[in-house]
Amino acid sequence: MTQQHSSRSTGLQTVVGAGVLVLGCLLAWGATSISSEAGYGGVGPNFFPWVVAIVLVFCGALSILHARTGGFRDLEEASGDEQAHWKGFVWVSAGLLLNALLITTIGFILSCALCFVLAVRGFKSSEGRLDLSAKAWIKDLFIGVAVAAPVFWMFTQLLAINLPGLTNTGWL
């Protein structure tokens, strides 16, 4: 590795570490506005945001320290394509955005199943195996519902956490 490439690489590594550190600080700042009133098991709703914030700050600081003392050593050659697969990115992004847009309209189960279907299209597209047949769409939709429904039921029925449903019964 040339000196110029190594210097550029450690500079980028420092920027990534600083970004993680700033993200952790922002999360900690946001956690201060969340109630700390203890709930079930003595843990308040701000517990996990604080844990994540502390871990991010620690990892960011450690990444900066590591980058400033020589960078990430003995890195393996990067795997994957040199170029991003934009078609796959668009499929997955569409799934996430539609999930966020439709979750309160069609409910958790159907919006998550739709997200799953579109994400599968994106990942298969990146492998060069995109299948747009009706059979593939239906199969992936059933798999998406089979994954999302138990998650929905666990949250709504077992944990009594309200998630957007298609009906008010707590089962759909």
Structurally, how many domains does the chain consist of?
Answer: 2
Task: Please report whether residue 172 resides in a domain.
Answer: no
Given pLDDT bands bounded at 50, 70 and 90, which one contains residue 4?
A: very low
Give 35-58 pLDDT, tens digit per residue: 777 666 666 777 888 999 999 999
Task: Please report whether residue 142 resides in a domain.
Answer: yes
What rounded mean pLDDT belongs to the chain?
A: 86
> What is the C-alpha separation between 108 and 101, in angstroms, rounded?
11
User: Which pLDDT score, from 0 to 100, does residue 38 have?
Assistant: 66
| DSSP state at residue 78 | P
- Looking at 68, 96, 117, the residue that finishes a domain is 68
Q: Which of 101, 171, 116, 105 is nearest to 147 (CA)?
A: 116
Q: Whole domain around residue 39: which residue ranges?
A: 3-68
Task: Please report whether residue 165 resides in a domain.
Answer: no
User: Other CB atoms closer than 10 Å to residue 107's CB: what's the count?
Assistant: 19
Do 60 and 91 share a domain, yes or no? no
Given pLDDT bands bounded at 50, 70 and 90, which one contains residue 94?
A: very high
User: Which pLDDT score, from 0 to 100, does residue 99 have?
Assistant: 95
pLDDT at 104 over 70: yes
Chain-centroid distance of CA 18 in Å reads 20
Task: Please report whether residue 164 resides in a domain.
Answer: no
> What is the arithmetic mean of pLDDT over 126-130?
90
Do 152 and 96 share a domain, yes or no? yes
- Give Dmax over CA atoms of the chain in angstroms: 64
Task: Please report whether residue 125 resides in a domain.
Answer: yes
User: Which pLDDT score, from 0 to 100, does residue 131 have?
Assistant: 92
Do 50 and 101 share a domain, yes or no? no
Do 148 and 93 share a domain, yes or no? yes
% residues pLDDT > 70 (the chain)? 87
Q: Is the dihedral of CA 85, 91, 92, 93 positive or negative?
A: positive
Measure Cα distances from 44 to 19, 38, 53, 112 in Å: 28, 4, 15, 28
Do 143 and 90 share a domain, yes or no? yes
**Which of the listed ranges 62-71, 94-103, 151-160 does the model predict with the highest average pLDDT?**
94-103
CB 141 within 8 A of CB 115: no
